Chain A
Amino acid sequence: MSEALGTDETLPALGPGGMPGAAGARAAGPTGPRRSPASRLARRLGDLFLSDYFVLYLTLAYVLVLIPFLPTLSNPANLSNVLSNMWPLLVVAVGQTFVLTIAGIDLSQGAVIGLASVVGGALLAVGGSGAVLENSPLWGTVLTEQGGPLAGVPWGLALGIAAMLLTGALIGFANGFSVAYLNMPPFMVTLVGLIGIGAFAIWLTQSENIRPLPDSFVELGKGDIVSVYLGPQDEPKIPRRQIYSLVTYPAVIAIAIALAAHILLSRTVFGRYVYAIGANRRAAEISGVPVRRVVIAVFTISAVCAAAGSILYSARLEAGRPTLGDGAFLLDVVGAVVIGGTSLFGGKGKILWTVFGVLFFVVLSNTLNLMNLSSFHIDMVKGAVILAAALLDVLRTRLMRERAA
């Protein structure tokens, strides 16, 4: 169980072998009789270990250890890649954080990404090939050789995006309703969503992808706002232009969503309700928390975040893809959130932790790519690193308990 991470001083601090009252007096002298420099160092390390930023420190330490072996790691092109891989995953993980915090889980996020991608693709496409899509029920009804109904329409992009988000909102609402009013377990409800909605998305296009999409949409997936030019680099056979994305649309979108989510979760009444439901649902109900409405809202947020992630993923692959978010993707999302420190058992979760968890995951995948391991070994190493991180989390929880005792 992932415990409170983030309380770096839970109780009046008891130093190793010290009484609380005496601690202040001793701190006055530089070398107290019983608190040696070594024990102070241990205490410092302990604080670091328990801090909100632990996963960030862990990631930085991991990178620092690897840089001598993988010089590419610190190369600006690689940093730009890591960031660009991070943004869409972050958007989806932010949504999952809300659901995990109320002790739920949203397995349908991957399917929402696929369906929203198809919806956006079908509406926004600026052309189409009958040869590819003629078996799709969308062909001739929504999509034609001229593209989707929003092709060339003023505000078409905004409408298409709104339709994608709405798709997520509807699915999220249905998930939340089933959990809150029909008292179905979140795992089952969203598993059904994962299977059913995923199959529906694939049926819609008969497993084909919809393209081409308008440039304005594609920009959302990778468009630069600020780029940097670092001069020519002569290592490869062909000199590159070496222009790196620094501030991109996905970055702006993801940071805006994460920031809004952070404020919503940590600073608002709604956020308090979310924590209360996760910490003790019955107590929350009895204390007058509108539990059902909050549960519905949380699942809706999760699915809308998935749909927003779908915008970024679809745009960067430049197609409406029903299989987007398939397979192991969901494990990356839940894994990143949990590594960040959010508890699967509810009541504990922070957007900041999720940001670091996602960073850790993305950096991990990136470094594994750079190690040029055989494809068979990559997932084994990934599993081992995640296991190590989970063990560290267990140690952390234990240390925190000891400090609180």
Chain B
Amino acid sequence: MSALLAFKGLSKAFFGVPAVADVTLDVAEGEVLGLIGENGAGKSTLMNMVGGVVAPSGGTMAWRGEPYAPADAAAAAARGIAFIHQELNLFLNLSVAENLFVDGFPKKFGLIDRRAIRERAAELLAALDLDVSPDAPVEDLSPGERQLVEIAKALHRDAELIIFDEPTTSLTPRETARLFEVIGRLKAQGKTIIYISHVLGDVARLCDAVAVLRDGRLVDAGPTAVFDIARMIRAMIGRELSGLFPERTARPSDEVALRVAGLGQPGVLENVSLSLRRGEILGLFGLMGSGRTELARVLFGLDPAATGEVELAGTALAGPPRQRIAAGLAFVTEDRRAEGLMMESPIEENLALVSIARFGRAPAALIDADSLAEEARETAQRVRLKAGNIARQPAKSLSGGNQQKVVIGKWLMNGPRVFILDEPTRGVDVGAKFEIYTLADQLAASGGAVLFISSEIEELMGVCDRILVMSRGEIVGGFDTAPFDQSAILAMAFREAA
């Protein structure tokens, strides 16, 4: 196989700080290359240079052996390079077909030829086994279907190199499986693929070769056959990580911290009962739409429940989040951008948000700024936040992992007794994931209790004392002791399909 795309000594610096340094790498035609690295390792910058979004400050690129220096994104697209981004670039209000043709509608007598569009769109969708109408508005599609539409768009433009950036972040396991199948088919058609992901298991399964970036440099590369996950992690973080998960330091006590009995809400939850003990990390697994997030929202008082009761350390929980927070409940939501953080506000303000009333001094609730700053600083240290000046730096400037630490930190400052973590490691790199698991362990060890909700089965198996499985709003079963059986958990979650 010859190289479709080759980097030679490619470098890029922003304000003198190198983001990509001296990367030399060949992407062979027809292969699936896994590109991995921690957040900030330079993956995005490298891909932005391929896509013509930023210009290299050193080195060269070659496309099929010829010099390649795209002036802008359109030039890259013209060569046959397509991006499938984490945040999809679709117009939600337009139909599937319109999205496919949005940059060049076929015309007939000067008018848009709707019939031609629909026919060609149906063809493209069929090639991907996507069973939606070309006329369906994109906003009605699931995230997985939207992604396939994006891929169809790339195929429509005869893309030769398709770059996937964290494509599975918002997909259900079933959608993920379908995506992999599609990627396999694309490969069979001779397309070249660069696959960027934090999910190393997927990379190992899917890719022919792996390239690892760290601090802007290519630190390791090679065929997947000789590149196991341990080697990937080693290369990414530059040191030996004994495992993906920290050693648990505490055992659950017998004292019940959170008791849920017969919780129900028509169409959402059905007779959910569980008990969470002090010192315990209880995993809650479920596919998308299984009701796991809905359960968390009901527990926290964001959504109503028709029946059932919730007790925290013996006292019944009722009312809006405020009252439950006062009782000692904390909730790290799955969507930290929309529900967790004030992105434009400084880190300190984010950390202080939950517990701010504590710092108000009578009579006018004037804030004791010194002790607030002191506690915020301590909390930042406790969650091992990597940040500069927390009083000034806005939350949006942090990497995903550090943002999540701020969210956890703001709850920590309020000294909660029960933590609900909903997908706490979504979009977070390996190193930060490890730290979040460590934090969960510490919460449990210091007498708290953690309800750990996730769609990543491996991490639940790695950190939890017990795992409950939800499906269609019900808790369908549980697994009490490690080692857990991954296929048994999955089978339980898929009970309807099985």
Contacts and interface: CB of A to CB of B under 8 A. Distances in A.
B109 interface: no
A19 B18 CA distance: 10
A333 B393 CA distance: 31
B241 interface: no
Interface in B395-435: 397, 410
A14 B321 contact: no
A389 interface: no
B14 A279 contact: no
B349 A275 contact: yes
Contact of B356 (A10, A269, A283): A269
A289 interface: yes
B342 A267 contact: no
A272 B369 CA distance: 12
A279 B345 contact: yes
A405 B14 contact: yes
B342 A283 contact: yes
A286 B15 contact: no
A276 B393 contact: no
A267 B393 contact: no
Contacts of B344: 3-4, 279, 347-348
B222 to A, nearest CB: 32
B78 to A, nearest CB: 29
Give the interface residue-count category, chain A: 35 or more
Nearest to A6: B392
Interface in B3-57: 14-17
Contact of B359 (A7, A269, A404): A269
Contacts of B302: 285-286
B354 interface: yes
Nearest to A14: B15
Contacts of A348: 344
Given A12-B388, A288-B322, A283 B349 contact: no
B343 A17 contact: no
Contacts of B131: none
A285 B340 CA distance: 10
B42 to A, nearest CB: 16
B86 interface: no
Interface residues of B, number: 41
Interface stretch (B196-204, B278-286, B360-368, B462-470): B360-368
Contacts of A18: 15-16
Nearest to B369: A267
A270 to B, nearest CB: 6
Contacts of B17: 14, 19-20
B497 interface: no
A39 to B, nearest CB: 13
A330 B389 CA distance: 39
A204 to B, nearest CB: 37
A290 to B, nearest CB: 6
Given A282-B339, A288-B322, A9 B392 contact: yes
Contacts of A16: 15
A297 B339 CA distance: 23
A261 to B, nearest CB: 12
Given A283-B353, A289-B353, A268 B360 contact: yes
A11 B393 contact: yes
B177 interface: no
Contacts of A14: 15-17
B130 to A, nearest CB: 32
A295 to B, nearest CB: 14
A278 to B, nearest CB: 9
A347 B345 contact: yes
Nearest to A19: B16
A191 interface: no
A272 B357 CA distance: 9
A117 to B, nearest CB: 30
A290 B320 CA distance: 10
A272 B338 contact: no
B244 to A, nearest CB: 29
B360 A17 contact: no
Contact of B367 (A20, A268, A284, A289): A268
Nearest to A272: B356
A280 B341 contact: yes
A404 B395 CA distance: 12
B83 interface: no
Interface of A: 3-4, 7, 9-12, 14, 16-20, 263-264, 267-270, 272-273, 275-276, 279-280, 282-290, 347-348, 404-405
17 contacts: A11-B397, A12-B388, A18-B15, A272-B349, A279-B342, A279-B344, A279-B345, A280-B338, A285-B321, A286-B321, A286-B331, A287-B353, A289-B353, A290-B322, A347-B344, A348-B344, A404-B397
Given A4-B394, A7-B392, 5 more contacts: A11-B389, A12-B388, A267-B367, A283-B338, A286-B331
Q: Which 6 A-B pairs have the closest CB atoms?
A: A279-B342, A269-B360, A288-B325, A269-B365, A287-B353, A14-B15
